[in-house]
Amino acid sequence: MKLGLVIDLDTCVGCHACAVACKQWNSSGMSGPLTDYKPYGDEPAGVWFNRIRHYEVDEYPNSKTINAPMSCMHCEDAACVTVCPTGASYKREEDGIVLIDQDKCMGCNYCAWACPYGARELDRESGTMKKCTLCVDRIYDDNLPESERQPACVLTCPSNARFYGDFDDPDSVVSQKVRERGGYSMMPEAGYQPTNKYLPPRQKPLVEQHAEKAASTEKPLSQIQRWIAQQLTRQA
Amino acid sequence: MFPALSVICFTLLSGAGYGLLILLCLDNAFDIGLALEGMRRNILAIVSLLLITIGLLCSTLHLANPKNAWRAFFRFRTSWLSREGVFAVLLYPFALFWLFMVWSNGVMPASGVEKLLAVVTFFLAVATLFSTGMIYACLKTIRQWNNALTPANYLLLGLMLGASIVLVGIDGGQGSTSAEKLVLGLTAIAALTKITYFYWIGKPAGPTINSALGFTRATVRLLDVGHGSGNFLTDEFGFELARTRLLWLRLVCIVCAFLLPILLLVSFDRSIFVNIAAMIFAFFGVFVERWLFFAEARHVVNLYHGAQRT
Ligand code: SF4
Ligand code: SF4
Ligand code: SF4
Whether residues A43 and B229 touch (CB distance < 8 A) is answered with yes
Mean pLDDT of B63-78: 94
Mean pLDDT of B283-305: 97
Q: Looking at A91-95, A96-100, A200-204, which range is the least confident one?
A: A200-204
pLDDT of the residue at A209: 60
Nearest Cα residue in chain A from B6: A108
pLDDT of the residue at A210: 59
Find the Cα–Cα–Cα–Cα dihedral A161, A162, A166, A167, rounded to 10°.
50
Please give the Cα distance from B77 to B54 (Å, whole number).
27
Mean pLDDT of B101-118: 85
**pLDDT surpasses 60 at A215:** no
Q: Is the CB of A131 under 6 A from ligand 1?
A: yes
pLDDT of the residue at B40: 86
Considering CB atoms only, which of B69, B142, B221 is closest to A55? B221
Q: Is the CB of A79 under 6 A from ligand 2?
A: no
* pTM of the predicted protein model: 0.90
Please give the Cα distance from B103 to B97 (Å, whole number).
10
Partners of B212 on chain A (C-beta within 8 Å) are: 186-187
Q: Looking at A2-16, A139-153, A173-187, B96-110, which range is the least confident one?
A: B96-110
Whether residues B207 and A190 touch (CB distance < 8 A) is answered with yes
SS (H, E, C) chain B: CCCCHHHHHHHHHHHHHHHHHHHHHHHHHHCCCCCCCHHHHHHHHHHHHHHHHHHHHHHHCCCCCHHHHHHHHCCCCCCHHHHHHHHHHHHHHHHHHHHHHHHHHCCCCCCHHHHHHHHHHHHHHHHHHHHHHHHHHCCCCECCCCCCHHHHHHHHHHHHHHHHHHHHHCCCCCCCHHHHHHHHHHHHHHHHHHHHHHHHHHCCCCCEHHHHHCCCCCCEEEEECCCCCCCHHHHHHCCCCCHHHHHHHHHHHHHHHHHHHHHHHHHCCCCHHHHHHHHHHHHHHHHHHHHHHHHCCCECHHHHCCCCEC
Classify residue B3 as exposed, middle or buried by CB count within 10 Å of its CB (0-12, 13-18, 19+).
middle
- The domain of B77 spans 5-304
Considering CB atoms only, which of A56, A86, A112 is closest to B75? A86
Partners of B303 on chain A (C-beta within 8 Å) are: 187
Fold of A3-199: Alpha-Beta Plaits (3.30.70)
B96 domain-assigned: yes
**pLDDT surpasses 80 at B8:** yes
B309 domain-assigned: no
pLDDT of the residue at B39: 84
Q: Does A51 touch chain B (CB under 8 A)?
A: yes
**pLDDT surpasses 70 at A218:** no
Of all protein residues, the one whose alpha carbon is nearest to atom 4 of ligand 2 is A111
CA of A138 from ligand 3 middle (Å) equals 10
More confident position, B237 or A223: B237
**pLDDT surpasses 70 at B13:** yes
The structural domains of chain A, with segments of one domain joined by +, span 3-199
Q: Is the CB of A84 under 6 A from ligand 1?
A: no
- Chain B: closest CA distance from residue A196 (Å): 13
B310 domain-assigned: no
Query: To test the ligand 1 pocket, which listed residue (A70, A131, A185, A198) has its Cβ within 8 A of the most ligand atoms?
Result: A131
Partners of A117 on chain B (C-beta within 8 Å) are: 301, 304
CATH code at position B198 = 1.20.1630.10
pLDDT of the residue at B304: 97
pLDDT digits (tens, 9 = 90+) for B20-42: 999 999 998 888 878 777 788 89
- Chain A: closest CA distance from residue B19 (Å): 24
Mean pLDDT of A156-179: 97
How many domains does chain B fold into? 1
Mean pLDDT of B247-265: 96
Which of ligand 2's atoms lies nearest the C-alpha of A83? 5
**pLDDT surpasses 70 at B172:** no
Q: Please, which pLDDT band fits residue A223 given cuts at 50, 70 and 90?
A: confident
pLDDT of the residue at B224: 96
**pLDDT surpasses 80 at A236:** no
Could you tell me what percent of chain A has a pLDDT over 90?
83
Of all protein residues, the one whose alpha carbon is nearest to atom 6 of ligand 1 is A75
Whether residues A86 and B213 touch (CB distance < 8 A) is answered with no
Q: Is the CB of A129 under 6 A from ligand 1?
A: no
**pLDDT surpasses 90 at B123:** yes
